[in-house]
Structure 1
């Protein structure tokens, strides 16, 4: 059975004020072509279909047209789950009705995970879609007050599935979360590639889930992390996001993870890359040099750009000048004002020990690269005292 595994579409996403709808639609058109050429037996979407719980109209229309094209015109079943960006209730609307049309959506976690069974020449393949759910919801669904972390929550869910699963047949899971290889001491043994555009699921590492829970499945299709990568084993994989959504993803490849499950125990995977309408690029140099280089470019002028300027003097409206050659320039930073990460770590450790004025001075210096003048400090001191007086702090 041939499977297309995708995730983290984030339809409707805005990045630095730029809508990604055109870029997303461009890639989805390529998805149709690959479905026609490769003829997969099923498409898996492992969460974050939308970028927010109440998506914009354009995003809803794009998802609707995509699902119609895949299922009705290309005759390919779809199995999808909600992610942490989705509203499970909205994603799962009419799911009972839609399954008769080969659209299987798990939006809200239930105590019993409903499997979807498809067949090929080797027999049935059972799909277990596990929608995203935080530990509080899992605790309520299973009536287990001991569930406190995402790892404990996923363990409870998979254990409930194991009562139904036939281990002699082929089984596939869909899940959305931070799945990693954890040692006996609870520490991560595997360093996964993360990006700035991924919304944290919890604080302090309690979002980490052991990949060992998925050992009963022949393949696990993961969503949440935006870089395509394996987690724990070759058959537990993130497909990565549909397109790039931050400059931390600039070097990542985006595409489809293609999984082929033959007889029991014989699973292979490959990757089909997408061609992006606009790439995310980081460029470094003096402003005049970057502009001159851009004028010589044949392609790439429409890319999303983060410019790190090495100029040392003052510049007059550098973003406007940059956008004269790169109209989709998103970020501009001055290299001489970038802070050493180690100093930021040190300051975060002692942040609770600093006064409000100290915190303001640090913030001002981080943003401007210069120390605040005494007159500015006096103004802020007066404002802080006034606010504290009004709030009776």
Structure 2
């Protein structure tokens, strides 16, 4: 007797540019490994939990790569795809011709509907229902469900899931595919808050904590396939998981392993999850030391010089043309910073603190410098709204 098996992946961000480096060839490298995993595992479906593209208007090479990938999976490997839009995608663009593509076993939900789309697959033990919840802002959900009490992402997801549960057959196995910040830790008032591993390459969904979603809403489902956070991790229990991003997209992800979750559901709906790791074309690494030492052949000959690097120089004095010299040995240096140097003491600390501040903190500092007093709460809330609106347009 065979259990239903599917591959959970997310956050491909096809077309991603990291520090002016196009990641398309790196993404193509790991997608070829995904094809091999599909061929070996023969899953019943490939589930993509949002952010297929890195931005709403994708470059031509990104569209071509995604088209080739979908064609390979569906036509050559004969594996259905179940996918949703994430916050980086244009839901309307992704959903184009979706009704026609269903006949080719490509199921994609780009925009949220009041009646959540359900895709049903079968194994020897009956039906497995996949509920597809594409990313949507709280205002969209509030209007769709005509519920004025929906104020944030937590309220929005709670209402969506309550509507699903009203018509859900609990005697069958049920899977949620969603995109957002789902967490399980609680503060002193019992409210959910940020407790999971985050990456610098993730775009915040909102400002001030309103993006968090209570993981307990998903407890009635056999598995929840999540996208948005780039680190592979569980949320409270074995059945609520982030698959993580397709590739490393920042130096905060140096220690993360990238790959896919292979999920098998037995006849009772219990999950068996296996992680298959990708080999990266170029890894992300951080190296540290004095410039002359890093350029020493005995040092660099032991490392993969083609990796994407963040270099931290510890020279006490000024160094001449460090980036040019480093790139002669390490061609893919992405970032260069200083530690314990004259540069850091003079201006580096100021630049570092500037980079580490959030946009709203920068605004507060600017306001105080100009006005000589703190900004009012009303002014801060107005600026938070403006920042969110601008960031959404940049996606």
Q: Could you tell me the TM-score, scaled by structure 2's length? A: 0.86
Q: Which of 361, 365, 384 is 1:351 aligned to?
A: 365
Q: Which of 76, 80, 104 is 1:73 aligned to?
A: 76
What is the CA-CA distance between 1:339 and the residue it aligns to? 3.8
Could you say if the C-alpha distance between residues 259 and 148 of structure 1 is closer, same or farther in structure 2, counting changes exceeding 3 Å?
same
What is the CA-CA distance between 1:351 and the residue it aligns to? 2.1
Whether 1:171 aligns to 2:185 is: no
Q: Is the 8 A contact 2:286 2:310 kept in 1?
A: yes
SS in 2 for 1:281: strand
SS in 2 for 1:155: helix
Work out the CA distance in 1 between the residues paired with 2:79 and 2:279: 23
Q: Is the 8 A contact 2:193 2:212 kept in 1?
A: no
What is the CA-CA distance between 1:271 and the residue it aligns to? 0.4
Name the counterpart of 1:197.
201
Work out the CA distance in 2 between the residues paired with 1:158 and 1:298: 52
Work out the CA distance in 2 between the residues paired with 1:276 and 1:60: 22
> Which is worse superposed, 214-223 or 330-339?
330-339
SS in 1 for 2:103: helix
Q: Which of 236, 240, 243 is 1:236 aligned to?
A: 240
Within-5 A mapping of 1:1-393: 1-183=4-186, 185-188=189-192, 191-292=195-296, 296-297=300-301, 300-336=304-340, 337=344, 339=349, 348=361, 351=365, 354-356=368-370
Work out the CA distance in 1 between the residues paired with 2:37 and 2:367: 56
What is the CA-CA distance between 1:348 and the residue it aligns to? 4.8
Q: Is the 8 A contact 2:284 2:308 kept in 1?
A: yes
Tell me the alpha carbon deviations over residues 257-296 of structure 1, each in whole angstroms, 9 at most, x when there is no partner. Answer: 1111011232111100000000000011001111115764
Work out the CA distance in 2 between the residues paired with 1:110 and 1:314: 59
Could you say if the C-alpha distance between residues 49 and 226 of structure 1 is closer, same or farther in structure 2, counting changes exceeding 3 Å?
same
Runs of at least 5 residues in structure 2 that lack an aligned partner in the other structure: 373-395
Tell me the alpha carbon deviations over residues 322-365 of structure 1, each in whole angstroms, 9 at most, x when there is no partner. Answer: 111111100000113254999978x959726632499xxxxxxx
Could you say if the C-alpha distance between residues 186 and 96 of structure 1 is closer, same or farther in structure 2, counting changes exceeding 3 Å?
farther
Work out the CA distance in 2 between the residues paired with 1:180 and 1:37: 33
Work out the CA distance in 2 between the residues paired with 1:139 and 1:13: 31
Runs of at least 5 residues in structure 1 that lack an aligned partner in the other structure: 359-393
Name the counterpart of 1:383.
none
Q: Could you tell me the TM-score, scaled by structure 1's length? A: 0.87
Q: Is the 8 A contact 2:181 2:213 kept in 1?
A: yes
Q: Is the 8 A contact 1:42 1:76 kept in 2?
A: yes
Q: Is the 8 A contact 2:49 2:85 kept in 1?
A: yes
Work out the CA distance in 1 between the residues paired with 2:71 and 2:124: 27
Q: Is the 8 A contact 1:182 1:211 kept in 2?
A: no
What is the CA-CA distance between 1:41 and the residue it aligns to? 1.0
Could you say if the C-alpha distance between residues 305 and 268 of structure 1 is closer, same or farther in structure 2, counting changes exceeding 3 Å?
same
> Which is worse superposed, 43-52 or 163-172?
163-172
Could you say if the C-alpha distance between residues 123 and 83 of structure 1 is closer, same or farther in structure 2, counting changes exceeding 3 Å?
same
Work out the CA distance in 2 between the residues paired with 1:319 and 1:153: 48
SS in 2 for 1:163: helix
SS in 2 for 1:253: coil
Work out the CA distance in 1 between the residues paired with 2:66 and 2:367: 49
Tell me the alpha carbon deviations over residues 39-73 of structure 1, each in whole angstroms, 9 at most, x when there is no partner. Answer: 11110000000000000001110110001100111
Q: Is the 8 A contact 1:173 1:220 kept in 2?
A: yes
Runs of 4+ deviating beyond 6 Å: 340-345
SS in 2 for 1:97: helix
**What is the number of residues matched between the two proteins?**
358
